[in-house]
Chains A and B, each alone.
Chain A
Amino acid sequence: MPVWEYAPAPESAAIGRIKSRYQMFVGGRFVDGRGGDVPTINPATEEELATVSWASTDDVDDAVRAARAAYDTVWSKMSGLDRGKYLFRIARGIAERARELAVVETMDNGKPIKESRDADVPTAAAHFFYHAGWADKLAHAGFGPHPKSLGVAGQVIPWNFPLLMAAWKIAPALAAGNTVVIKPAESTPLSILVLAEIMADAGLPDGVVNIVTGAGDIGSYLVNHPGVDKVAFTGSTAVGKKIQTALAGTGKKVTLELGGKAANIVFDDAPVDQAVEGIVNGVYFNQGHVCCAGTRLLVQESVADEVIGKLQDRIATLRLGDPMDKNTDIGAINSAQQLSKITELSAVGDEEGAQRWTSPCPVPDKGFFFPPTVFTNVSQSMRIAREEIFGPVLSVLTFRTPDEAVAKANNTPYGLSAGIWTEKGSRILGMAAAMRAGVVWANTFNRFDPTAAFGGYKESGFGREGGRSGLAAYLDTDDETGSDEGTAA
């Protein structure tokens, strides 16, 4: 392999205009929470980035009240066209402050600047732009001629795509005519608070979107709040189950986007170089902090050695380090807690007899970093083949026949995504049909678009985000033709 030398090309932190302190956003105002000031750190440096005023349960009450008032007095009465105009404005606002948002996201989350710049931020803007256009066309969405909004949506989002998940949640909720109380993850509150500035500048009526900051207790209080009509959660399957349990019998509409353990299946006729790129993208994108990451590589036995060899060669070229450097491929793990979880589960892989290979890339002394790791000789019963690691760790299994690939791919309680690599068209379509997973990428991986529904089968959750079916999550989808209608909760 030739040696490629890169000069550092860091993005300027000043572009992020990060303030020393951030407040919650409730009722159209930036206000102090009553949960105290808590620092948020830059995971790449372990240094404090800013302090954030956290919410107390009283603040959640205030936020739900503000959302209800906004729903009753303004938002539910506004025409769909006008609701859409606000969403279009927000989309434009995100685009205009894209570079700033990318820096904020990278510094608070640890993801490489090229990803926040090229994926997170533009896709967030795209989600607002797409859903803006739905606001006055809901009658054409296929849920009856007069689909109704639900009311106040309580939303809880994770730390892996802070701004993008905010967009996935807020945009369809508002387009469908609901108002929102949303809680960002405790370790990544900044980008959504910049989004709050954009929404305020866009003139979004007070209380239509309220942002409460805090940890899991605040999220739990929010989703169980009696003033909330709809709950949307993205996060771990364990927490999702708790939410589903707690909300049973309440009549609240719930959608859950939970964990995954996706199979990325490489057949012997696959274009190997492309497949290697796709495998790398599938598992190392965003440090593997991706619910749909292709963390189980299923490779046909006859090409396993070739694929694994090329894969390791390719991974060894990935640059790990300063997320602000535009050349960086793999940034920082989001938190010390997540780093220790990845470290522990990888150690279990060693104990269970899998063979560990670690990229020889240099690892910074400071910050939370975990080098790209590949486990071979993995069997289906191992924890590294069953549990979501949520880090840059790939488990390699092999198969001989397509049937075996299908059986192994589906042998998981999860069902969020899957990948297929083969040059044979009929095999692509056959495999895609056989996957019990909500998203199937064939000869590509980790593609997202607001027009394409995203969401899981089985324990990866229910409900979709994006596309026409994503709107169903925020509409009362009763048909008016009869009373025999309920909620798919």
Chain B
Amino acid sequence: MAPRTTSKPAPAAATRAKAAPAKGTVAGSATSGNDVTPGRATSTASPVPVLKTYKLFIGGKFPRSESGRTYPVRGASGQFLANAAQASRKDARDAVVAARKAFGPWSAATAYNRGQVVYRIAEMLQGRCAEFVELLVAGEGAKPKAAAATVDAAIDRLVHYAGWTDKIAAVFGSSNPVAGPFFSFSTPEPTGVVAAFAPQQDSLLGLVSVIAPIVCSGNTAVVVASQAFPLPAVTLSEVLATSDVPGGVVNILTGDAAEMGTHLAAHADVNALDLTGVDGDLRTALARDAAGTVKRVYVPKQQPDFTRTPGTARLRAFLETKTVWHPTGAVSLAGGSSY
């Protein structure tokens, strides 16, 4: 393989083109290999490429921000890549409504079904890995090889969590040997709607590592993507939309985490926050806002290294334990009273 530079992203795609035909650069330009600025066709022989409009992902649909705002996304070398939607408070609220609506059916779906859906995301991501490599190379300035490894790791992460869905109850639940004539069992259940702030730096693997543990147990998610590198998140939305993930289970917003965060952290229909992608004063402020409705708050102790095999802390952070009691045997006929 010839040496590549980050300013020539297109050939990197070609290296992985056996699995999936390369779509070219981030904005879908011709794969001439000469593009310095993605999205601008330089060869008159190629047709003018159709560029993608990067929008939000709410309730399974791809709306623009209701505010009409966008912001420019620039690549590692400062080149213009695309305009991303700058989501507003209203968009965040719409996403919460969609997530709440999706929570009932998604949490009630069988674990087997959820596992298949999460696995399907991995399949779809595999099929489009070249496109994600392009995005990481163009956006984060990753070396193509490293970008490919990152996409592979993101696929593996989804496979990992796909296999968790039908193990959670067995691993974290219990039958309780209570000292009385009762059958008592404790079972984990999803917390509800989780507002997650994806890592700012690790725009694909970090994003997938945040989303997967939330949704595999039956929660639904409103995810604020990396502000600087939002394009993998929007493209992941397309993967999700074609993976049998019911609309509203994952909602992805692009824009300013500080602007949306305040509203999400205080929103009474959000049950939990994942503050991985915000730090410093904003992280503290959001954790404080969360107390207004006693939200569960997940805060990583240190900067997560998403290349490592995950433990269960992220999974457990968004689970409740429900304990159910029922009298057993003939003793129940004596009544349910301590009087």
Interface residues of A (CB under 8 A from B): 115, 118-119, 126, 142, 144, 237, 240-242, 244-245, 248-249, 251, 256, 258, 273-275, 277-278, 280-281, 285, 329, 413, 428, 432, 435-447, 449, 451-455, 457-462, 464, 467-469, 472, 477-489
Contact = CB atoms under 8 A, between A and B. Distances in A.
Interface string B9-28: 00000000000000000000
A251 B298 CA distance: 11
B294 interface: yes
Nearest to B177: A451
Nearest to B309: A481
B321 interface: yes
B284 A413 contact: no
B338 interface: yes
Q: Which 4 A-B pairs have the closest CB atoms?
A: A479-B311, A249-B284, A277-B337, A482-B308
Interface in B283-315: 283-285, 287-288, 290-294, 296-306, 308-314
Contact of A483 (B209, B305, B322, B327): B305
A443 B336 contact: yes
A477 B313 contact: yes
Contacts of B180: 447, 449
6 contacts: A115-B338, A240-B294, A244-B291, A275-B336, A455-B321, A478-B313
Contacts of B209: 484
Contact of A142 (B171, B184, B306): B171
A250 B181 CA distance: 44
A452 B294 contact: no
A386 to B, nearest CB: 14
Nearest to B305: A483
B338 A119 contact: yes
Interface of B: 171-172, 174, 176-180, 182, 184, 186, 191-192, 209, 268, 271, 283-285, 287-288, 290-294, 296-306, 308-314, 316-317, 320-327, 332, 335-339
Nearest to A432: B324
A484 B338 contact: no
Among A142, A438, A449, A454, chain B packs the most CB atoms within 10 A around the CB of A449
A481 B304 CA distance: 12
A489 B310 contact: no
B283 A281 contact: no
A483 B276 CA distance: 13
Contact of B293 (A440, A459, A469, A487): A459
A478 B332 CA distance: 42
B311 A249 contact: no
Contact of B337 (A142, A281, A484, A486): A281
B183 to A, nearest CB: 9
Contact of A438 (B299, B323, B327): B323
A484 B321 contact: no
Contacts of A126: 179
Among A244, A459, A485, chain B packs the most CB atoms within 10 A around the CB of A485
Given A468-B174, A469-B172, A280 B337 contact: yes
A449 B184 contact: yes
B326 A428 contact: yes
Given A432-B324, A449-B178, A469-B186, A484 B308 contact: yes
Contacts of A144: 311
- Secondary structure of the B contact surface, majority rule: mixed
Contacts of A249: 283-284, 287-288
B295 to A, nearest CB: 9
B309 A482 contact: yes
Given A485-B311, A486-B301, A469 B321 contact: yes
Contact of A444 (B171, B182, B311): B182
B321 A277 contact: no
B315 to A, nearest CB: 10
A436 B320 CA distance: 10
Given A249-B284, A453-B321, A464-B321, 6 more contacts: A115-B338, A245-B288, A256-B294, A281-B338, A281-B339, A428-B326
Nearest to B183: A442
A444 B182 CA distance: 9
A480 B184 CA distance: 31
Contacts of B338: 115, 118-119, 281, 285, 446
Contacts of B332: 443-444
Given A461-B294, A479-B313, A483-B305, A440 B178 contact: no
Contact of A442 (B177, B322, B326, B337): B326
A273 B316 CA distance: 40
Contacts of A488: 296-298, 313, 316-317
A218 B139 CA distance: 53
Contacts of B291: 241-242, 244-245, 248
B321 A482 contact: no
A242 B326 CA distance: 36
Contacts of A281: 336-339
A25 B268 CA distance: 41
A237 B294 contact: yes
B294 A483 contact: no
A454 B323 contact: yes
B274 to A, nearest CB: 9
A444 B325 contact: yes
B293 A453 contact: no
A458 B271 CA distance: 7
B176 A451 contact: yes
